[in-house]
Structure 1
Amino acid sequence: MKVYGHPGSIYTRMVLATLAEKGHEAEFVLVDLPTGAHKLPEHLARHPFGVVPAFEDNDGFSLYESQAIIRYLDRKLEGPSLVPSQPRACAVMEQSISVGLNYFAPNAFKVIWEKFLKQFMGGGVVDEAVVMAGRQGMEKVFALIDPTLARQPFLAGDAVSLADVTWMPFMAYLFPAGEEDTVARYKNVAAWWERTSSRPAWRKVTGE
């Protein structure tokens, strides 16, 4: 198996985290985003939208889009299932993924871009209005999930799932962006992050 991506990519990390939670590895093929390698013809043949990750199985079967890839890996590979077997728990997982991608991630990325990535990529004035809007959007989501995480250790219930895998790469970048206090205001979200980020699978993804 091959994963084409970049180690700092949020969506690549979802795939790497899924592999790690399943106890498997794939050959990692670097797509050098800073040099524009994701827009070259050879990568566009793997991912027609010119982003990462892309995936290739041993028999040549290929996929792009992280959500498709992580579901395929969970069903194909031996190891603990990352999708709950009970219908309601599975529905909660899908709901959590949808909330994460549609309401949390866009707001988190505003903050991450302004306070971390923009500075990392050469500076620029931080747009505080964008940061504030993003932070308010994140806090609305945190306020929603904090009571849920008071009742259960993970987003979909008692076990880590693809919902946690989907949220974690966005959460991780909030800390170099200086948003520790924002997370800390929601004690159950903070406790969930402590649990998930200390898992060996996630530490493997981040190289810690």
Structure 2
Amino acid sequence: MNSFLLATVFLQFASALTLYGHPGTRSPLCNWGALEVGIDIKMGDLSKNPHPFGQIPCLTDDNDVLVFESGAILLYFLDKTKDKLSPSEAAAIQSYIVWANASLDGICFLETPDGKVYDTGLKKPNKNIDKLDKILEKQPFLASDQFTLADVAVASYLLYVLQFFPGVDISRWPYVKAYMKDCCIRPAYAKAFGEKVQGLLLSQLESEATPKKLFGVF
């Protein structure tokens, strides 16, 4: 196969993934994950969003693949890139992605019976976050000594708290706070969420000042 055909095949593969999402929702964490693992995606027309419940984020791939929910999308990215990982690393990343959606979400965001977020559980002590702090005391990242999709999943929720509830005091978890800063400062985070969001979050993580609220609760 000549170089032109190889380039054509590559471009077809690179453009096969389409993400339906919007800033101010959970979809930028999918953009972040894709950037970190080198997966090319394009943004889809929201009027054509194929999510069965009409929500975002939603991802399509070739061969009629449809993936919805942010955690499932990160797991799909993991499946496409796990050949670069050891079995233990892949398993750990998968576990943390599921934990972020199944447990951390409910800690970070307290909801009314009809599903509206009204507060964050990070305003009070929490045994699970205590444990997370102890884990991060011993290692810089969660599933490996390198940043992975596990950190995209967990750090996204933690950083979303500061977006929607600016000024929350997380100093009782110093290693979690340092971890959040290390994740937020990454170039791919700025590209996915915007440099303005990154700058305002870093200002919170570096000082006790309360910055302006970025946008409404999702």
Does the alignment reach a TM-score above 0.5?
Answer: yes
Residue in 2 aligned with 1:118? Answer: none
Is the 8 Å Cα contact of residues 82 and 162 (structure 1) preserved in structure 2? no
Is the 8 Å Cα contact of residues 123 and 168 (structure 2) preserved in structure 1? no
How far off is 1:189 after superposition? 0.4
Residue in 1 aligned with 2:104? Answer: 104
Residue in 2 aligned with 1:5? Answer: 21
How far off is 1:169 after superposition? 2.3
Letter in 2 for 1:67: G
How far apart, in 2, do the equivalents of 1:186 and 1:82 lie?
A: 34
How far apart, in 2, do the equivalents of 1:52 and 1:65 lie?
A: 7
Is the 8 Å Cα contact of residues 142 and 186 (structure 1) preserved in structure 2? yes
How far apart, in 1, do the equivalents of 2:108 and 2:38 lie?
A: 29
Identity value in percent: 28
Q: Does 1:113 align with 2:117?
A: yes
Q: CA RMSD in A?
A: 2.8
Residue in 2 aligned with 1:154? Answer: 141
Q: Does 1:195 align with 2:210?
A: no
Give the structure-2-normalised TM-score.
Answer: 0.67
Query: C-alpha deviations, 1:130-154, integer Å up to 9, x for none?
Result: x5xx236773221011111011111
Is the 8 Å Cα contact of residues 6 and 30 (structure 1) preserved in structure 2? no
- Assess, with a 3 A threshold, how the Cα gap between structure 1 residues 135 and 162 changes in structure 2: closer, same or farther: same
Q: Does 1:165 align with 2:152?
A: yes
- Assess, with a 3 A threshold, how the Cα gap between structure 1 residues 92 and 26 changes in structure 2: closer, same or farther: closer
How far apart, in 1, do the equivalents of 2:171 and 2:45 lie?
A: 34
Residue in 2 aligned with 1:128? Answer: none
Query: C-alpha deviations, 1:24-45, integer Å up to 9, x for none?
Result: 43221353xxxxx6xxxx53xx
Structure 2, gaps ≥5 residues long: 1-16, 196-218
How far apart, in 1, do the equivalents of 2:168 and 2:153 lie?
A: 20
Q: Which has the larger radius of gyration?
A: 2
Match of 1:175 among 158, 162, 172: 162
Letter in 2 for 1:178: P
Is the 8 Å Cα contact of residues 7 and 13 (structure 1) preserved in structure 2? yes
Q: Does 1:144 align with 2:131?
A: yes
Is the 8 Å Cα contact of residues 13 and 169 (structure 1) preserved in structure 2? no
Letter in 1 for 2:53: F
Question: Where do 4+ consecutive residues of structure 1 move more than 6 Å?
Answer: none
How far apart, in 2, do the equivalents of 1:73 and 1:6 lie?
A: 19
Match of 1:74 among 69, 75, 78: 78
Q: Which has the higher contact order (CA 8 A, sep 6+)?
A: 1
How far off is 1:51 after superposition? 1.6
Is the 8 Å Cα contact of residues 104 and 137 (structure 1) preserved in structure 2? no
Q: Greater CA deviation, 169-178 or 142-151? A: 169-178
1:114 partner SS: strand
Residue in 1 aligned with 2:86? Answer: 85
Residue in 1 aligned with 2:5? Answer: none
Match of 2:58 among 54, 57, 60: 54
Query: C-alpha deviations, 1:75-128, integer Å up to 9, x for none?
Result: 436xxx6984142x444334433332222211211289325xxxxxxxxxxxxx
How far apart, in 2, do the equivalents of 1:91 and 1:63 lie?
A: 20
1:184 partner SS: coil
Query: C-alpha deviations, 1:165-203, integer Å up to 9, x for none?
Result: 11222212222303441x222111011111111111111
